[in-house]
Amino acid sequence: MGHDVTSGRLVVLADGEAIARHMAEWLTELALTKTGGPFVVALSGGSTPKRLYEILGSAEYATRFPWARTHLFFGDERFVPPSDPASNYAMTQAALLSHVAIPPAQVHPMPTDGDPVQAAARYQAELQALYGATELQPGRPLFDVVLLGLGDNGHTASLFPRQPVLQERRLWVSTCVPDDAPHTRLTLTYPAIHSSRHVVFMLAGAAKRDVFARVRAGDPVEPASHITTEGGLTWLVDKAAAGV
């Protein structure tokens, strides 16, 4: 069936903590019921996802979640060393990975060494190896879940305004050099995100209210407005961001 940002389900919760706790339970139940292959997730950076990862790394979830058959990828990454404070991987390592028994080979950080274009190609090859094909096939999603945030400038993952990556329709992973934010980035492209069973946006705070309203209305100027999925799309939004 498929969904986009205008047709996706809206869930309004009290605050960022409630979003993170709701997501932890939903993600765990989804993972536990997955059959016929690994559970594959693309992680997001940001403060609300960080809290989600801390909850998943707590005793309650660390033993419940089926880490042994889960593969974790990243939706985007700044082209900085893995130990850099700006690294999404570094944040995830501290909040989640160091607390759970996931096999190291099933954690797939984006490479941030050498040439960024070549690093993007290496990451695409890693995704293709798990997927078992070099072309995305309708009805056979690459990801079970893609987690996304939303920047004040309408970006999601590292799909930033005015950048060539917004026109990419062939590659699964590409580069982005924002003109309004630091660091070269690697990012999943629109086609890779589309190949998902679930896309979930998580956003909290009054600062997100205006951009959320624009993207929810499908404003074509906003990069996040062009996110689609062949599965379901959900907005997990707190009351401040929803304006209620």
pLDDT level of residue 2 (50, 70, 90 thresholds)? confident
At 180 the pLDDT is 87
CB 229 within 8 A of CB 194: yes
More confidently predicted of 1 and 41: 41
Read off the pTM: 0.97
Contacts of 189 (CB under 8 A, 6+ apart): 159, 165, 168, 169, 171, 172, 173, 174
Give the rounded percent of residues in the chain with a pLDDT score beyond 70: 100
- Is the distance from CB of 143 to CB of 42 less than 8 angstroms? yes
In the prediction, which pLDDT does 21 show? Answer: 97
CA–CA gap between residue 143 and residue 194 (Å, rounded): 9
H-helix or E-strand containing 32?
Answer: helix 16-33
For 173-222, the pLDDT digits (tens) are 999 999 988 899 999 999 999 999 999 999 999 999 999 999 999 999 99
As a whole number of angstroms, the distance between CA 221 and CA 3 comes to 19
Q: Is the pLDDT of residue 172 over 80?
A: yes
Helix (H) or strand (E) run with residue 123 in it: helix 116-131
Distance CA 235, CA 11 (A): 6
pLDDT tens profile 124-145:
999 999 999 999 999 999 999 9
Q: Is the pLDDT of residue 122 over 90?
A: yes
pLDDT of 1 > 80? The answer is no
Compute the average pLDDT of residues 218-241: 98
Interval 19-61: pLDDT, tens: 999 999 999 999 999 998 999 999 999 889 999 999 999 999 9
Average pLDDT over residues 101-129: 97
**Average pLDDT value over all residues in the chain:** 96
- Amino acid identity of residue 79, one-letter, is F
Rounded percentage of the chain residues whose pLDDT exceeds 90: 95
**Over residues 85-93, mean pLDDT:** 96
